[in-house]
Structures are given as structure tokens and as C-alpha cells.
């Protein structure tokens, strides 16, 4: 699970925030989906990969997200 943020704030803050965001989603999946938490990996990517413009409130909201990336072992 890849956590993302908008472009406000320092890089270190956004990387930590995006990791927390990804961990919250992974924890919820582990509890609700009965998936072993050890099977879920997370990373905080901060503001590195926006999917929308950070010049508008809507764009910033779209950039605050968690992307679920499914891979095989």
C-alpha cells in the first residue's frame, strides 16, 4: 500500500504522514478482510507522485490517497 500526500509541508513530514496513512489502511484491511498483516506492506511516498494539480483544493484532495498495489510472491 502506497501512501501519498498533497504538496503542503516539508518532505519529511509528508513522508511520515503518507506512511501513517498507508498503515491505517493496511491495518483496516487486516482486521476487516482477515488478511494477515504480515502479508501487507506499506510505504510512504509523500508528495512525489501527484495524480492531480496541487493548485486547487480538489486536486490536493485527490493527491491525499492510498494506492493499493497487488503483487504476487
Q: Which domains, and CATH codes, for the chain?
A: 2-67 (3.30.1330.60)
pTM above 0.85, yes or no: yes
Confidence (pLDDT) at 72? 84
Confidence (pLDDT) at 37? 95
Confidence (pLDDT) at 44? 98
Residues 52 and 6: their CA atoms lie apart, in Å, by 9
Question: Does the pLDDT of residue 73 top 80, yes or no?
Answer: no
pLDDT tens-digit profile of 18-46? 999 999 999 999 999 888 999 999 999 99
Amino acid at each position: 500500500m502506497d501512501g501519498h500526500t498533497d504538496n503542503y509541508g516539508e518532505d519529511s513530514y509528508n513522508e511520515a504522514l503518507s506512511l501513517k496513512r498507508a498503515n491505517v489502511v493496511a491495518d483496516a484491511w487486516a482486521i476487516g478482510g482477515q488478511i494477515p498483516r504480515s502479508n501487507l506492506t506499506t510505504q510512504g511516498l509523500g508528495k512525489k507522485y501527484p495524480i492531480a494539480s496541487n493548485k486547487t483544493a480538489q486536486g490536493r484532495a485527490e493527491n491525499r490517497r492510498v494506492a493499493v498495489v497487488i503483487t504476487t510472491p
